[in-house]
Chain A
Amino acid sequence: MSGLSALFYKELLRFWKVVVQTVVAPVVTALLYLLIFSHVLEAHVEVYPGVSYSSFLVPGLVMMSMLQNAFSNSSSSLIQSKMMGSIVFVLLPPLSYLEFFLAYLGASILRGLVVGAGVLAVTLWFAPLSMPHLGWLLVYALLACGIMGALGILAGVWADKFDQLAAFQNFLILPLTFLSGVFYSIHSLPAFWQSVSHANPVFYLIDGFRYAFVGQSDTDPWLGLLVSGACFVAISAITLLLLRSGYKLRH
């Protein structure tokens, strides 16, 4: 076992030991969103022609759950071990900053994918779905979990207390996901808010991911790939630079 795989395994085991909180709960939350919103809006809203509101909503919910849980995994693991002091067990062994990054990132991606698959599995019963572009589905799922996993590492390393992390989550991650077209198409927004939405990288993730299901989207999925890919590279680069400098981990 290399140090990297041991840390990856530790992170998997960590979230798996609290699977009710880390997987079951977000799946149930997503299901509730689906039941409530589709009950209220199914008969009134048709975002794309020929696509029911439930079928429109499910990809957004799957993506939202993946985003939030990938972020939660790395950020909460790091802040907890920093607060508890047990981060020292990871800092004392001969692990490089790159191994540190990849292990936390890998575990976040896996948690995001497991939650995403769970949400998809339960919502399939409530909404007719097809997946005409499976390749896009995988690409966007991986990119989304990767971006949020890396951002979670960044936030977890930066935050000194739970409060700061909660602020990061509630004032940045949550608005970015909620205001990115999970529940609506940005074409329904006034022109100003449409252009604001285009500056939100999460919008491209949800839009591209939904394209994989319904074959229709607000923007070209290739553009989304470019924006999301650049976003992943930028966040990873910043995080790696901070880890290399020992920021807040090694004095």
Chain B
Amino acid sequence: MSQETPAIRVSALHKRFKQTQALDGVSLEIEQGAFFGLLGPNGAGNTTLISILAGLTRASSGTASIMGHDVVRDYRQARRALGVVPQELVYDPFFNVRETLRIQSGFFGLKHNDDWIDEIMHHLDLTPHTEKNTQSLSGGMKRRLLVAQALVHKPPVIVLDEPTAGVDVDLRRSLWAFISRLNREGHTILLTTHYLEEAEALCGRIAMLKAGRVVALDETKNLLKLTNEHCAQFRLDSENVPSAWQNRMVKGGDGNWRFNFSEYADLETLLADLRGAAVRVLEMRLQEPDLEDVFTDIMKRT
């Protein structure tokens, strides 16, 4: 497959469920090797989009392809190229961990897949649980098994649908370490999450969906530039803030003040005016805009 073929291409995708327009003309391309974030509030269409990519839902119109294979016409190749970690914590209670992974390999036409199965289990800390029935696994272990199941056929494209919802810190860290490693090795990752700090830290590019439409699509660093609302928090030794600044500053208790600004020059002027009014700054903290601010802002504006 040439490097030019996008890992995921979605074009003018519409999906209507009885009363709701879940997707309303979504188009986007994700290049191979990307770590891509798909963000949006509940009901924005993220899960519908992923379901269409996975062949679990059929689009009303438009096309979608994985590694150049149309998900409907060419579904066998498309599904072979895709590993999906579903959002719900699902498992088949009849089998143990190894059986589950062997059977899942078989579904993709793979036999003698034990070397790779052992490797995945090792990286996901599942090895001590190999012979355990899936029903007896803890929530975290079930989540790891879901990730393992999505990887049995070494898919070049991996979709993670809110993989860290309700997951403890340890698992979150080891999961991201493993997924980042897979990404470094060339796997394309598509992630949906409500934890925006995760998306900010991991994703090189991000699309934001609202009511079934793409409302933002850019590199993460460019998105972060969209909001230039910085915030400075001060603790001052007196309340004699010059009157010109009083309506621009928010007063908290114990001499704490908040100041939102977009240009650093404003901050400089404020500090000079405070010094002029003989108000001393006892403490100061600066807060840079994060993805959450950008997200909230975009969701409000669109």
Known contacts A1-B111, A84-B91, A246-B58; A9 and B106 CB within 8 A of each other? yes
Known contacts A5-B106, A6-B106, A84-B91; A251 and B149 CB within 8 A of each other? no
Asked whether B93 is an interface residue with its Cβ less than 8 Å from the other chain, the reply is: yes
Q: Which residues of B contact A3 (CB under 8 A)?
A: 106-109
Query: What does the 1/0 interface line of A96-120 toward B look like (CB < 8 Å)?
Result: 1000000000000000000000000
Distance (Å) between the CB of A82 and the closest chain B CB?
Answer: 11
Distance (Å) between the CB of B166 and the closest chain A CB?
Answer: 16
Distance (Å) between the CB of A109 and the closest chain B CB?
Answer: 20
Known contacts A1-B109, A6-B107, A251-B56; A92 and B84 CB within 8 A of each other? yes
Cross-chain contact of A95 among B17, B93, B107 (Cβ < 8 A): B107
| Contact across chains for B90 and A14 when beta carbons are under 8 A apart | no
Within 8 A of A (CB), among B43-94: 51, 54-58, 75-77, 79-80, 82, 84, 86, 88, 90-94
Query: What does the 1/0 interface line of A4-47 toward B look like (CB < 8 Å)?
Result: 01110110011001100000000000000000000000000000
Cross-chain contact of B54 among A9, A84, A92 (Cβ < 8 A): A92
| Contact across chains for B56 and A91 when beta carbons are under 8 A apart | yes
Q: Which residues of B contact A93 (CB under 8 A)?
A: 79, 104, 107-108, 153
Q: Which residues of A contact B57 (CB under 8 A)?
A: 250-251
Asked whether B95 is an interface residue with its Cβ less than 8 Å from the other chain, the reply is: yes
Q: Which residues of A contact B171 (CB under 8 A)?
A: none
Give the number of residue pairs across the A-B interface with Cβ within 8 Å.
85
Asked whether A85 is an interface residue with its Cβ less than 8 Å from the other chain, the reply is: yes
Residue of A nearest to B106 (CB): A6
Known contacts A3-B108, A6-B106, A13-B95; A89 and B149 CB within 8 A of each other? yes
Q: Which residues of A contact B103 (CB under 8 A)?
A: 6, 9-10, 13
Distance (Å) between the CB of B289 and the closest chain A CB?
Answer: 38
Cross-chain contact of B58 among A90, A94, A251 (Cβ < 8 A): A251
Query: What does the 1/0 interface line of B21-62 toward A look like (CB < 8 Å)?
Result: 000000000000000000000000000000100111110000
Quick one: which of B56, B82, B106, B111 has the most chain A CB within 10 A? B106
Residue of B nearest to A103 (CB): B107
Residue of B nearest to A5 (CB): B106
Residue of B nearest to A95 (CB): B107
Distance (Å) between the CB of B111 and the closest chain A CB?
Answer: 4
A81 to B91, CA, bound (A): 9
Residue of B nearest to A87 (CB): B90
Asked whether A86 is an interface residue with its Cβ less than 8 Å from the other chain, the reply is: yes
| Contact across chains for A251 and B86 when beta carbons are under 8 A apart | no
Within 8 A of A (CB), among B99-139: 99, 103-111
Distance (Å) between the CB of B196 and the closest chain A CB?
Answer: 27
A92 to B56, CA, bound (A): 7
Residue of A nearest to B152 (CB): A93
Known contacts A92-B54, A94-B108; A86 and B79 CB within 8 A of each other? no
Q: Which residues of A contact B99 (CB under 8 A)?
A: 13
Distance (Å) between the CB of B131 and the closest chain A CB?
Answer: 14
Cross-chain contact of B75 among A9, A13, A90, A94 (Cβ < 8 A): A94
Q: Which residues of B contact A167 (CB under 8 A)?
A: none
| Contact across chains for A92 and B111 when beta carbons are under 8 A apart | no
Cross-chain contact of B80 among A5, A86, A94, A96 (Cβ < 8 A): A94
A5 to B88, CA, bound (A): 27
| Contact across chains for A92 and B92 when beta carbons are under 8 A apart | no
Distance (Å) between the CB of B134 and the closest chain A CB?
Answer: 9
A13 to B94, CA, bound (A): 8
Quick one: which of A84, A88, A93 has the most chain B CB within 10 A? A93
Query: What does the 1/0 interface line of B242-279 toward A look like (CB < 8 Å)?
Result: 00000000000000000000000000000000000000
Q: Which residues of B contact A188 (CB under 8 A)?
A: none
A91 to B93, CA, bound (A): 17
Q: Which residues of B contact A5 (CB under 8 A)?
A: 106
Quick one: which of A3, A86, A92, A95 has the most chain B CB within 10 A? A92
Q: Which residues of B contact A96 (CB under 8 A)?
A: 76
Q: Which residues of A contact B58 (CB under 8 A)?
A: 246, 250-251
User: What would 19 more interface pairs be, CB under 8 Å, given A3-B108, A250-B56?
Assistant: A1-B109, A2-B109, A6-B105, A6-B106, A7-B106, A7-B107, A9-B103, A14-B94, A18-B94, A84-B90, A84-B91, A85-B88, A88-B90, A89-B107, A91-B54, A92-B55, A93-B104, A93-B108, A250-B58
Give B contacts to A, CB under 8 Å: 17, 51, 54-58, 75-77, 79-80, 82, 84, 86, 88, 90-95, 99, 103-111, 149, 153
Cβ contacts A to B, 15 pairs, < 8 Å: A1-B106, A3-B109, A9-B103, A13-B94, A88-B56, A88-B90, A89-B149, A90-B107, A91-B54, A93-B153, A94-B79, A94-B108, A94-B109, A96-B76, A250-B58
